[in-house]
Amino acid sequence: MTSMVAAAPRMFDFQIVLASQSPRRRELMQMLVPDVHVALVKDVEESYPSDMAAEQVPEWLSRLKAAAYKDDMASGEVLLTADTVVILDGEILGKPSDEDEARRMLKRLSGRSHTVVTGVTLTSEKHSESFSERTEVMFDELSDAEIDAYVSTYRPLDKAGAYGIQEWIGGIGICGIRGCFYNVMGLPLHAVYEHLKKF
């Protein structure tokens, strides 16, 4: 049986290299670039200044990740690094350490709006540029039973804010969104495409 999904057209004359261990970012990039190359992920300490505004953190971290590959860049390659954060009340909600923390995060997000920001850095041998994209997400009220069901079934410990918009919780809980849907998944595809066209 043949696939119903056509491959993305080739639009760039350079090789795009994705430095990310996120399977979601890989899938998203393949929507734009049929032959994206995934680099071996390097261990980067994701630290940032304590007085940095929360919305500036993902762009800072994307540049920090890019710096780890500076000596590995080859001619004709463009490296993409990214970082996504969930922000509520000016505080970054990172990846939960366990299921109890995931439940606490979702209870905080329940019935409220929050901001998702993704920072992206594009790097070649001679040039580098960074940008950020923000999306506002509104959750309806979530019951304890709904939160428990999601956390125990999906175990969202690898997701900032303890949820994936493309999963069950997004379908039943998210009642509004302003901005790029894909940004909430981890990569603002339209913004990435526009920057790649100009790169």
For the annotated catalytic residues, the residue numbers are: 83
With 0-12 CB in 10 A as exposed, 13-18 as middle and 19+ as buried, what is 108?
Answer: middle
**Cα dist. 73→38, 122, 140 in Å?**
13, 12, 45
Question: Crossing angle of helices 144-154/99-109, nearest 10°?
Answer: 140
Q: Which residue has the tokens 């918009």?
A: 165
Q: Vertex 151, ends 149 and 154: CA angle to 5°?
A: 95
